[in-house]
Structure formats: C-alpha cells, structure tokens
Amino acid sequence: MQSGTIKKLVSDRGFGFIAAEDGKEYFFHRSGTDADFDRLQGGEKVTFQVEASPKGPRAAKVQVVA
C-alpha cells in the first residue's frame, strides 16, 4: 500500500487525484474507493494501491487514514 494526500476532487464527475508520498500523482475514480466518495475532502491522508489501466497507473482501494 502507498500513502498520499487527496490533491483534488471533482465530485460531480466522480474522480480525483492523489499526491503520493513518492512524488507521483495518481488518478482515482469513485469506483476505486473503499471509502464513501461523497465524504472525501481535499487534503485528507489516504492509503491506496496502484493498478494498471489503459491510460496508465491509477489508484485503487483508496482508504482514508484514521
């Protein structure tokens, strides 16, 4: 699992971006979250897994760090 911070959310379109601790930025979709997407906020610390997609690596299994 990797760690990062939610950098940007586009709630009405169901996606966002995570700034990972490794310096990379990862796209994530509503369907790739284990958390309630509608309750996510920018700046929250999260953990996630990186998976391959047709458009490049993306975050999956996004969870808010308690």
Segments forming the whole domain that contains residue 25: 2-64
Q: Burial level of 41, CB count in 10 A (0-12/13-18/19+)? A: exposed
Measured between alpha carbons, how far is 9 from 38 in angstroms, rounded to an integer? Answer: 10
Residue 64's pLDDT band (cuts 50, 70, 90): very high
> 50: which 2 tokens?
């990186």
Domain total in the chain: 1
Mean pLDDT for all residues in the chain: 95
> Could you report the per-residue pLDDT of 26-55, keeping only the tens digit for each?
999 999 999 889 899 999 999 999 999 999
Task: Specify the pLDDT at position 35.
Answer: 82
Task: Specify the pLDDT at position 66.
Answer: 80
The predicted model scores a pTM of 0.91
- CATH assignment of the domain containing 16: 2.40.50.140
Task: Specify the pLDDT at position 40.
Answer: 93
